[in-house]
Amino acid sequence: MNTKQRLVQVIRSHADELEPDIAIEHAGGSITYRELGKYIDDRAAELEARGVRDTFVAMERAKSAEFLLDFLAVLATGGTVLPIDPDTPTDRRAIFLDMVRPEFLLTDTGMVRLDNHPRRQVPGDGAFVYFTSGSTGTPKPVLGSAASVLSFAEWFGPEFGIGPRDRFAFLTGLSFEASLRDMFPPLVAGATVVIPEPGATEEPEATVSWLARRRISVITAVPSVARAWLHHGRVTCPAVHAVFFVGEPPAADVLSGWPTLFPNTTLRVNSYGSTESGQATVYKRIPAEPATFPAGRPVPGTSYCFIEPDAVLDADLVRARLTQPVPSGEIVLVSRSCSHGYLNMPEENAARFAALGDGVIAYRTGDLGHVDEHGDLVVLGRADDEVKINGVRVHPAEVVRAVRAHPSVRDAFVTATRAGGAREEARLTAYVVPTAGFTVADLRRDLTSALPAAMIPARFVEVAELPRTRTGKIDRAALTELAARDEPEYIAPHGDIECWVADRFAELLGVERVSAADDLFVLGGDSIMATQLTSRIWQEFDVRLSQRDLFAAATVAGIGITIMERRLLADGPTDLDALLDALGEVSDGDLQREETS
């Protein structure tokens, strides 16, 4: 029995001791631990009969009980899972499949063998593949360890008092490694994984209502997402006693506002780690009234040291720093629980990972830090230009590559800046040298098929050339000046729909007024706000818009026109007068702005 099968066996063992207890609760009902064990056995046997054993399997399925059950069944065959969220942009999905080359693809409609993807041996106990943003411009596949997840899950329950009575919300997106924490710690602890029904958690207010209705007791949350819950939630969730923050440290407004909706939360934990470090994390219980708090201390079996940011990583250097530590520098996590590195990327692995022997791996995080007076790790920032946007790691180089690939772009550069205000969150600005026929609307729309929402620039600035210093490097100060000159003039919204959209922009962004030409994402809007806006548009106008629709339209005027177009299509006007009446709310200025944007 390999480590992947042992991980599943620990969960299966509850079939006898917790026979009637609920393992998974979902829209269609519930699954007991006994039923779970039988399903894993039967499904694993079926998959093996079709050739699935010790091989890569891509799972492109919606979040559901079937997804989780098949995930466990693939592991039981010794297979390695590549989860692909069905909402993954088309071009990015193709990159995932090309880089991993899974032998099988399992979807909601069945399983197919990918004939042009021959069987490859899975390295070590590699159990999962998750992608992270790449500094070279290409996303990087990280091969996660089953042993890492098992040891973390077995430590997690006793450490935080998690047991069979707990109910975990499965909220994390399927393409993120943090989703493993929504699945394995609760199942290893004999708790219940509660899976939202489709559409139940698309909007912050609805998510909070779902948490209350389903009596959730434990949550894994990205702080920027939690902030939206606090702003828009209308009910309290008294059953929630524990929250584990991942992706980024929670800001003061999130911590101070948390008791408003979650009054009985007695355990708040911040986690520091990455996809590459696997479950080799640093954690800190957050005190009741923190001013600031450090990343904390490592989980058992994990340690860390500091190296100089310009040093070459190797085993001897790490051993030296572990025995003779320096007080600050670039953080290196050291553990048997680190991932197996990047799949089929030997040069990247050599730069970021070092084997110390006996299964111990050192991972160079790219984060800078020091140890405080209490012995806790404090993270100070990045040694490179990587940023976090809504908890998602983003390398500007990957965004630059996608922007430059567009046929109407001759050159481009992307920077990360702070949006300002209380939230001070990172935003991407793309500086574009256009060719004939370029429009921001076309570029933004096409980027939605190549990049996830968090990686699409909030602002696009057209420049004749990218300014450079005497040494040939991009002149960032000059770019900032160009962006400041690019501020548009104020144009009053026109018509009922446009005014309604402008009011919603102002409400979501916390500003006094917005122009008809203002772009939601330029003003600091993000994918979370886009979700909130689409929900409100549906409630107000009975019009369904996707996030991609908002990215394409972007401005107050553009979104107003899109709403009117969808209403016309739904109503089906049959004469010219009806069409003219509907378009009467659109000013000539609105149409001109949309034609030139």
pLDDT in tens, the chain (597 residues): 789 999 999 999 988 788 789 999 998 899 999 999 999 999 999 999 999 999 999 999 999 999 999 999 999 999 999 999 998 999 999 999 999 999 999 999 999 999 877 777 777 789 999 999 887 788 999 999 999 999 999 999 999 999 999 999 999 999 999 999 999 999 999 999 999 999 899 888 899 999 999 999 999 999 989 988 998 889 999 999 999 999 888 988 899 999 999 999 999 999 999 999 998 799 999 988 766 778 999 999 999 999 999 999 999 999 999 999 999 999 999 999 999 999 999 999 999 999 999 999 999 999 999 999 999 999 999 998 898 888 888 999 999 999 999 999 999 999 987 655 445 567 889 999 999 999 988 898 899 888 988 898 888 899 999 999 888 889 999 998 887 776 667 888 989 999 999 998 888 877 778 888 888 877 767 777 887 888 889 888 988 888 778 878 888 999 999 999 998 887 765 454 554 555 555 544 554 444 444
Angstrom CA distances, 289 to 70, 240, 253, 262, 281, stand at: 42, 19, 11, 15, 24
Query: What is the pTM assigned to this prediction?
Result: 0.82
* pLDDT reported for residue 191: 97
> DSSP state, 64?
S
Angstrom distance (rounded) from CA 414 to CA 417: 10
**What is residue 105's three-state secondary structure?**
strand
Residue 279 contacts residue 179 (beta carbons within 8 Å): no
* pLDDT reported for residue 535: 80
* pLDDT reported for residue 488: 65
State which amino acid sits at residue 92: R
Residue 170 contacts residue 194 (beta carbons within 8 Å): yes
Angstrom CA distances, 563 to 157, 271, 557, stand at: 48, 41, 10
What is the token pair recorded at 460? Answer: 């696009």
Angstrom distance (rounded) from CA 415 to CA 423: 19
* pLDDT reported for residue 146: 95
Residue 28: CB atoms within 10 Å = 11
Strand 297-298 versus strand 426-434 pairing type? unpaired
Which domains, ranges and CATH numbers included, belong to the chain?
Answer: 300-384 (2.30.38.10), 387-485 (3.30.300.30), 496-596 (1.10.1200.10)
Element (H, E) at 570: helix 556-571
Which residues, listed in sequence order, are joined to residue 284 by a DSSP beta bridge? Answer: 270
Q: Residue 429: what are its φ and ψ, rounded to 5°?
A: -120, 125
* pLDDT reported for residue 458: 82
* pLDDT reported for residue 419: 56
Strand 218-221 versus strand 242-245 pairing type? parallel
Query: Which residue, among 378, 388, 371, 419, has the nearest Cα to 248 in the 3D structure?
Result: 388
Query: Which residue, among 13, 15, 59, 30, has the nearest Cα to 194 in the 3D structure?
Result: 30
Give residue 313's region: left, alpha or beta (phi > 0; psi -120 to 50).
beta
Q: Where are the beta strands (DSSP E) in 358-495?
A: 360-371, 377-382, 387-389, 392-394, 409-418, 426-434, 459-462
Q: Order of strands, edge to edge, in the sheet holding 167-169?
A: 29-32, 22-26, 192-194, 167-169, 218-221, 242-245, 267-272, 282-285, 297-298
- According to DSSP H, which parts of 31-160 are helical? 33-49, 65-76, 90-100, 146-160
Angstrom distance (rounded) from CA 346 to CA 353: 10
Angstrom distance (rounded) from CA 106 to CA 68: 12
Q: Residue 453: what are its φ and ψ, rounded to 5°?
A: -55, -40
Angstrom distance (rounded) from CA 24 to CA 31: 5
